[in-house]
Each structure stands twice: as C-alpha cells, then as structure tokens.
Amino acid sequence: MRKKFVAGNWKMYKDKTETVQLISELIEKLNSYTPEVEIAICPPFTSIELAGELIKNSPIKLGAQNMHSEIEGAFTGEVSAKMLKSFNVEYVILGHSERRTYFKETDEFINQKIKRAIEFDLKPIFCLGETLEERENGKTFDVVENQLRLGLNGVSRLDVEKIVIAYEPVWAIGTGRTATPEQAQEVHSFLREKLSKLFDSEIASKIKILYGGSVKPENARDLFKQPDIDGGLIGGACLKADSFYQIILAAQF
Ligand code: 13P
C-alpha cells in the first residue's frame, strides 16, 4: 500500500514572519491530531532554513521548489542540490509547469536536475501535465508520456523509486478549475502503466503519483479516493494552515 502524501508548494509567497505564522499554526493543528499521511512543505529558499528549524520534532518534512542541475558554478541566482542537502531538505519539486513556462525549462534540463537530485539523496517531486490546448486537441496522453519518458531518461530501476510524480494539468493550476476525479484517475493510471513498461509493475505499484491543480478541502477527498491518486501537490490552499490541514485530513480514510 502506498502511503498518502500531501505536499504544499508555497510558490513565491510568505516572508519570514508569515513563514513562522503559517508553520506554527499548522503544527498546532497537527499536535491536536496527526493523521497517517506523509506531509511536506516546500517554502521559498529564503524560508528554507527557518522552516527546517520550525518543523523539527514535527511530522512535517521539508522540500524545495527548484534547484539547478550543476553542483556549483557561476549561475547567478541559482541554488544547487548540494546546498539544499546541507539544510536537510528531503524533497525538491522539479519540472513544475511555472518553471517550464516562465523560465523555459526543457525536458532535458529537468532530466539532468532529477538525476542530480537523486545523486545528492534528494527526492524529486517530478511535475508534468498538459496545457488546455493540448487536452482539447486530444494530446494529453502523448504529452504526459513524452514528459515522463524524457524526465526519467537514464534513471535506473533502483533510483526511480525515490521519485514522486505529480500530475498537474496546466489548465487546473491556480484557475479554480480542478480536473474531475475521473479525468485525473485516467491520467494517473496511464502514467502508472507507462512506468510499469519503462521499469516493471512492482516498481510502478510503489511510485506515488500526486495530483495538483486547484485542490481544495472541498474536492480533495474525492480526488484522493481514486485508486491511482496517492495524494496532492497543493498550491493556493496550502497558504492557510486551516485549508492545508483539511486537505491533509482528507487524505486519510
Ligand atoms: P493550485 O493548487 O494553486 O492550483 O497550484 C497547484 C500547483 O501548482 C502546485 O504545485
């Protein structure tokens, strides 16, 4: 059985004071009741160290939102896997559609980052998903299969287990327009089938596939009930302790 996993992608939100407030509120809720769900938060780099301190002795794990594929070098403004590891970061979101769109990240670059993250013992949360235009043109499966293949190119059977996949249809991110549980399940089961072809069915059955895109307390449960949806990558709704906690609770049943 795959344990459910709920991760919060804070994106470019929360300064230092707000970081303390959000994490304190979340820990207070988890202290009253902690469900059997794996929980992670992915704050911006400026809050990584502070968040790491605040979540010590709590069930919350630490993730980052991005990293460069090189270990070090003249890459102004970038952060490496080695640096993240030195702050006890456990997860790193890679291939998010906002990085693909606004920062022109290619599948090849994302693949290099995935391999580098694994080398440094970071667990990638590897995001993929189609745009609205691609969905409307019937290209969803081709697009996600291609992203999956290219992203995992050269990743061994042993290493792929360390990866969490996040299916995030671009049209559902920040739009309030969630994929229906059936639409999401269809893509998740397709991805799992492809993983079993790329690796084998045992590995495919172990890999977590999260759904992301306008997950809210109101729709989380129906999504998480689907057989191939192993939790969620949450944007907007993770910025308030209450709604994030409600989503964490929805992952438990
Ligand atoms: P929203 O939950 O705000 O749609 O964002 C989803 C997302 O991009 C998580 O990575």
Q: What domains can you pick out in the chain, each with its CATH number?
A: 5-250 (3.20.20.70)
Ligand 1 nearest-atom number relative to CA 97? 8
CA-nearest residue, atom 1 of ligand 1: 235
CA-nearest residue, atom 9 of ligand 1: 235
Confidence of residue 253 (pLDDT cuts 50, 70, 90): confident
User: Cα–Cα distances in Å, from 239 out to 38, 78, 89, 226?
Assistant: 18, 24, 20, 25
Tens-digit pLDDT profile for residues 27-71: 999 999 999 999 999 999 999 999 999 999 999 999 999 999 999
Residues in contact with 112: Cβ distance below 8 Å, sequence separation at least 6, in sequence order? 69
* Degrees to nearest 5, angle at CA 63 with 106 and 154: 40
Alpha helices in the chain (DSSP H): 16-32, 48-54, 81-86, 97-102, 107-119, 132-136, 140-151, 157-160, 181-198, 201-206, 217-224, 241-250
CA of 36 from ligand 1 middle (Å) equals: 23
Give the separation between CA 244 and CA 253, rounded to whole angstroms. Answer: 16
CA of 232 from ligand 1 middle (Å) equals: 9
Q: What pTM did the predictor assign?
A: 0.98
CA of 212 from ligand 1 middle (Å) equals: 6
CA of 131 from ligand 1 middle (Å) equals: 14
CA-nearest residue, atom 2 of ligand 1: 235
Ligand 1 nearest-atom number relative to CA 173? 4
Ligand 1 close to Cβ of residue 9 (< 6 A): yes
Ligand 1 close to Cβ of residue 213 (< 6 A): yes
Ligand 1 close to Cβ of residue 178 (< 6 A): no
Confidence of residue 1 (pLDDT cuts 50, 70, 90): confident
Tens-digit pLDDT profile for residues 106-139: 999 999 999 999 999 999 999 999 999 999 999 9
Ligand 1 close to Cβ of residue 235 (< 6 A): yes
**Of the listed ranges 102-111, 142-151, 171-180, the one predicted with least confidence:** 171-180
Residue 99 and residue 105 in contact, taking contact as beta carbons nearer than 8 Å: yes
| Percentage of the residues of the chain whose pLDDT score is greater than 70 | 100
Ligand 1 close to Cβ of residue 66 (< 6 A): no
Ligand 1 close to Cβ of residue 204 (< 6 A): no
Ligand 1 close to Cβ of residue 233 (< 6 A): yes
Ligand 1 nearest-atom number relative to CA 213? 4
**Which amino acids are annotated catalytic?**
96, 168
Q: What is the mean pLDDT of residues 2-19?
A: 98
